[in-house]
Amino acid sequence: MTIYKTITFGSIDVSYRDDLDGGGARFGQDYLSFIPTRIGKIDHALEWCAGPAFIGFSLLAAGLCAKLTLVDVNPAATAACRETVRNNGLGDLVRVYTSDCLDALQKGHVFDLVVANPPHCPDGTPHPRGYSQLIYNDVGWRTHRKFYQQVPEYLSGEGRVILQENAGLSSVDDFRVMIEDAGLELLGAFPCVWTKDYYYVESRLSKTGSSEMRVPR
């Protein structure tokens, strides 16, 4: 039986293990300051690379989204998410998928906001605090590139993708071409509210491209 720690966001007790924590309970909480002023409340949010979903569950607890979908490639992470869903009676509001990027998402799922604290390091350098490679390393940005190719299919017409990146390991120019190649429009890079060590890369469906408009569900 897995023993979990818990951290509470609003009325939600989030289950986690230390080896699954990639920073979402710390700098990831900056989203709660950024989203209200940049986006406001939305219907359905997706957290990619969710880990224990500190970011997603905190958005839900704060009333910034009404529904939540969580995706992570690590079965241990999604098991922790399902534990949180069970313990808090969130089965009607939260869906959880074990998935390489968005491979496991069903067609027709549409999101108004996609957030993530994804792997930040573009090579194989070990994390100084010992984070696993699964949490920290995205060699050659392969996972980012796959994500951006997949995500347009799941965005509502006004949906936004807002990823949190490490300012010491990347710049917005690392992602610009992959965003535009996917048929998305880069809206810009914005510093985090609480710390300058991280920044947001925001994009949406291109208004001049061929991506069809989608209705939120």
Considering the domain boundaries, does residue 3 fall inside one?
no
The domain that holds 186 is classified in CATH as: 3.40.50.150
| Neighbour tally for 178: CB within 10 Å | 18
What residues does 47 pair with on adjacent strands? 70, 115
Considering the domain boundaries, does residue 17 fall inside one?
no
Tell how many helices (H) and how many strands (E) occur in the chain: 6, 9
Considering the domain boundaries, does residue 163 fall inside one?
yes
pTM tops 0.85, yes or no: yes
Copy the structure tokens of residue 50.
Answer: 């969710």
Considering the domain boundaries, does residue 213 fall inside one?
no
What's the confidence (pLDDT) of residue 120?
96
Considering the domain boundaries, does residue 98 fall inside one?
yes
Considering the domain boundaries, does residue 8 fall inside one?
no
Write out the H or E segment, with its range, that includes residue 72: strand 65-72
Q: Is the separation of the CB atoms in 35 and 110 below 8 Å?
A: no
Domain containing residue 176: 22-205
Please report, in tens digits, the pLDDT of each residue of the chain (217 residues total).
899 999 999 999 999 999 999 999 999 999 999 999 999 999 999 999 999 999 999 999 999 999 999 999 999 999 999 999 999 999 999 999 999 999 999 889 999 999 999 999 999 998 888 789 999 999 999 999 999 999 999 999 999 999 999 999 999 999 999 999 999 999 999 999 999 999 999 999 998 754 333 333 3
Considering the domain boundaries, does residue 161 fall inside one?
yes
Considering the domain boundaries, does residue 123 fall inside one?
yes
Structural domains counted in the chain: 1
